[in-house]
């Protein structure tokens, strides 16, 4: 097993052949339980080790481990949960509520996934033994599905209320169960703090995810010409899942209100994108507007600008209001509409989980960038002369307009190293058109570039999309720089909406052509940068459609900071816990007074009998 496939908490998950084997193992775990006995997980104990990295040191705002009660769902020990079910009827984004944990990125992913019930239910492999205290779930890690068994003990405060993620209805438990299994997979709940929606969606669905940053050159052009809205709208119509956030600037506070209700450093679900029309009236001209519907995973805290709940724009546009709001009216549920132009000012990145329809192709390659290797080298991006020594995967396209999404991933630090580690190696890929029968790109020329990742970034994964004409292509995963000192594991994935022909089997990379092998090995040994990237502009004749601004001369590695610090939400949840505990204290005081009265009565009766 390669290092990119194995998690650091090896005792917390299993690699079953399929769901049937996972369910069989679940049955074995409860087979010899006595009547009325519930299964208890010995690998994820109900104590501080499952809550925090240091069991004796909670994160700021977190409750001391010995003050946390682990209450069982199916023993009816959780407050308000007197008839527990995994799912109540259907699922919707509003079912999900974030708790006292800074994992809005993951909770938002759950919220977005709730709009696609079949995908969500796919995560929970089995709940048929829930009454015996066990659930089985699966997550996509290291290029494969891994399985996790968890018991039904949830961390609660002294009032019996769930501390972390939970359902809007306490009887609907899928949110808490999935979050607990995900925490087990990563070692503890605290290891889920900070992250990106696309990472959560990737782990929950296994499909290709990409991050679109609004400050990159290509995206700026797309926002200006309107093509980004249409691109995202098309993806959403095809079933892709989306989220958004505003990264906090350097030195800025996290989860801070930008002034009109949007929190910096906080992740939101992106639920709908529409183009709406209002006919002219006696009071106003006709109006066309592009609107986006978002959701705050807190279930509260909404946009306060134009088109916010009950804003005057709705009354001025009754047709649009009837179409988008309907008779139900507005609710304080964390969901809100925002105009596209305002959306682009308030947010600065979107996450897309691309879900192509049936009928396309998909392949996953595992490999290594090996410094000095002639065909699997760490040759760096096209600005280096050593670029052709990178691994290359070739395929043929038959139909014009074939959409291809590429995704390259490196080691999952949260799962495979430590949640506190940061990425330092920027990665990406370049898609090149091949000439004739050559099996590899021998030299970078801009006119042969058919696409590339959205950017190069020190991230867990990076993706991009291109639309291709018929022909042969090479997908080339690379690091941004060519100065790697040791081999780096990667996974390269290619997905298309129409069938393609792959030219390699298994994880093999394209072989060097016989006459070029010596030349390529010399190039790898040189390891020097090209004098400059060619100024030659791409011809339009045989070139596929590229995202605007994606030229080799624009290449630069971007920084990638996580969303969210846990402090804000943890503090707010802690305040709620204090209120709950205060209510509990009042109730206990009442009970004590009642008991004192009973004791006094009994004592008086005892004396009277004397």
Could you tell me which of 148, 185, 183, 138 has the C-alpha nearest to residue 162? 183
| Architecture label for domain 209-353 | Alpha-Beta Complex (3.90)
What pLDDT, on a 0 to 100 scale, did the predictor assign at position 281? 84
Residues designated as active site: 104, 266, 296
Task: Quick: pLDDT tens for 297-319.
Answer: 878 889 999 999 999 999 999 99
pTM of the model: 0.81
Contact in structure between 335 and 271 (CB atoms under 8 Å): yes
pLDDT at 522: 45
DSSP-assigned letters across all residues of 58-127:
PPTTPPPGGG-EEEETTTT-STT-SS-BS--SS--GGGEE--SSS-HHHHHHHHHHTTSHHHHHHHEEE-
Burial letters for 128-145: b for 16+ Cβ neighbours within 10 Å, e otherwise?
Answer: ebbebbbbbbbbbbbbeb
Q: Domain residues of the chain, as ranges?
A: 19-205, 209-353, 361-512
Q: Is residue 430 left, alpha or beta, with left meaning phi > 0 and alpha meaning psi from -120 to 50?
A: beta
Q: Is 464 exposed, middle or buried (0-12, 13-18, 19+ CB in 10 A)?
A: buried
| SS3 of residue 556 by DSSP | coil
Q: Is the dihedral of CA 100, 106, 109, 110 positive or negative?
A: negative
| CA 299 to chain CA centroid, nearest Å | 19
Report residues of the chain scoring pLDDT below 70. 1-3, 248-256, 258, 357, 510-589, 610
Q: State the pLDDT at residue 470.
A: 97
Q: Three-state SS for 521?
A: helix
Edge to edge, the sheet with strand 209-213 lists 209-213, 349-353, 241-245, 267-278, 287-295, 335-339
**In 166-324, alpha helices (H):** 174-185, 197-205, 217-225, 227-237, 312-316, 318-324
Q: Which two tokens stand for residue 294?
A: 């978002």
**CA separation, residue 42 to residues 79, 149, 153, 187 (Å):** 25, 11, 12, 13
Which of these CATH numbers, 3.40.50.970, 2.60.120.380, 3.20.20.70, 2.40.40.20, describes 361-512? 2.60.120.380
Residue 188 tokens read as: 């503890």
Q: What is the 3-state secondary structure (H, E, C) of 454-500?
A: CCEECCCEEEEEEEECCEEEEEEEEECCCCCCCCEEEEEEEEECCCE
Phi, psi of 304 (to 5 degrees): -115, 5
Within 364-489, residue ranges assigned H as helices are 413-416
- What local confidence, expressed as pLDDT, does residue 572 receive? 52
Q: Nearest Cα to 78, choosing from 144, 206, 167, 2?
A: 167
**What is the rounded CA–CA span in Å between residue 291 and residue 307?**
9
């Amino acid at each position: 097993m390669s290092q990119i496939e194995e998690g650091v908490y090896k005792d917390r998950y299993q690699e079953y052949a399929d769901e049937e084997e996972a369910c069989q193992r679940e049955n074995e775990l409860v087979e010899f339980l006595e009547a009325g006995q519930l299964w208890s997980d010995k690998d994820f104990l109900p104590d501080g080790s499952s809550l925090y990295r240091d069991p004796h040191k909670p994160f700021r705002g977190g409750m001391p481990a010995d003050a946390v009660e682990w209450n069982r769902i199916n023993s009816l020990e959780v407050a308000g949960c007197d008839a527990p079910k995994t799912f109540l009827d259907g699922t919707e984004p509003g079912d999900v509520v974030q708790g006292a944990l800074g994992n809005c990125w993951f909770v938002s992913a759950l919220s977005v996934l709730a709009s696609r019930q079949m995908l969500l239910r796919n995560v929970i492999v089995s709940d048929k033994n829930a009454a015996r205290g066990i659930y089985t779930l699966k997550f996509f890690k290291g290029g494969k599905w891994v399985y996790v068994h968890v018991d039904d003990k949830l961390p609660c405060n002294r009032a019996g209320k769930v501390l972390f993620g939970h359902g809007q209805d306490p009887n609907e438990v899928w949110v808490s169960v999935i979050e607990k299994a995900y925490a087990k997979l990563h070692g503890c709940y605290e290891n889920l703090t900070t992250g990106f929606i696309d990472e959560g969606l990737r782990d929950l669905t296994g499909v290709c995810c990409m991050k679109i940053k609004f400050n990159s050159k290509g995206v700026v052009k797309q926002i200006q010409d309107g093509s980004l809205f249409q691109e995202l709208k098309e993806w959403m119509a095809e079933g892709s899942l989306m989220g958004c956030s505003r990264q906090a600037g350097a030195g800025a506070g996290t989860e801070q209100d930008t002034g009109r209700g949007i929190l910096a450093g906080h992740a939101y679900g992106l639920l709908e994108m529409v183009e709406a029309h209002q006919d002219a009236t006696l009071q106003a001209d006709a109006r066309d507007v592009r609107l986006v519907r978002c959701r705050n995973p807190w279930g509260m805290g909404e946009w306060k600008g134009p088109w916010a709940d009950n804003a005057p724009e709705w009354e001025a546009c009754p047709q649009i209001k009837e179409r988008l709001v309907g008779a139900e009216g507005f609710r304080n549920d964390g969901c809100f509409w925002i105009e596209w132009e305002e959306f682009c000012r308030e947010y600065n990145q979107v996450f897309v989980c691309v879900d192509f329809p049936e009928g396309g192709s998909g392949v996953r390659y595992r490999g290594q960038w090996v410094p000095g290797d002639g065909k699997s080298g760490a040759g760096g991006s096209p600005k280096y002369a050593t670029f052709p020594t990178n691994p290359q995967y070739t395929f043929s396209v038959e139909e014009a307009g074939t959409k291809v999404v590429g995704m390259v991933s490196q080691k999952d630090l949260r799962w495979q190293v430590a949640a506190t580690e940061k990425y330092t190696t920027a990665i990406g890929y370049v898609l090149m058109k091949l000439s004739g029968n050559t099996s590899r790109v021998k030299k970078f020329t801009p006119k042969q570039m058919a696409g590339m990742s959205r950017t190069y970034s020190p991230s867990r994964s990076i993706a991009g999309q291109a639309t291709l004409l018929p022909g042969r292509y090479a997908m080339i995963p690379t690091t941004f720089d060519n100065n790697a000192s040791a081999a780096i594991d990667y996974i390269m994935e290619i997905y298309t909406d129409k069938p393609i022909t792959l030219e390699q089997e298994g994880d093999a990379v394209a072989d060097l052509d016989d006459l070029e092998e010596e030349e390529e090995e010399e190039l790898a040994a040189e390891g020097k940068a090209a004098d400059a990237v060619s100024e030659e502009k791409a011809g339009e004749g045989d070139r596929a459609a590229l995202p605007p601004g994606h030229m080799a001369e624009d290449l630069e590695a971007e920084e990638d900071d996580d969303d969210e610090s846990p402090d804000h939400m943890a503090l707010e949840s802690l305040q709620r816990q204090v209120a709950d505990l205060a209510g509990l204290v009042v109730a206990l005081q009442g009970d004590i007074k009642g008991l004192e009265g009973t004791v006094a009565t009994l004592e008086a009766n005892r004396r009277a009998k004397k």
